[in-house]
Amino acid sequence: LRKEADSLVTPLTIKKYPRCLLCNRPTQVGHHHIKKSESNRLRYYEDNFIPLCVLCHCALHCHETIYSNRIVKVKGQNWHDELIKKKQEYIKVDRFYYEEAITRLTKCLNPKQE
Mean pLDDT by 10-residue block, N- to C-terminus, for the chain (114 residues)? 96 97 98 95 97 97 95 97 96 96 95 70
* Contact yes or no for 48/24 (Cβ under 8 A): no
pLDDT at 17: 96
**Chain-centroid distance, C-alpha 25:** 18
DSSP3 helix / strand / coil % (the chain, rounded to 5): 60, 10, 35
* Contact yes or no for 70/22 (Cβ under 8 A): yes
pLDDT at 111: 83
Global model pTM greater than 0.75? yes
Write out the E strands in the chain: 29-32, 49-52
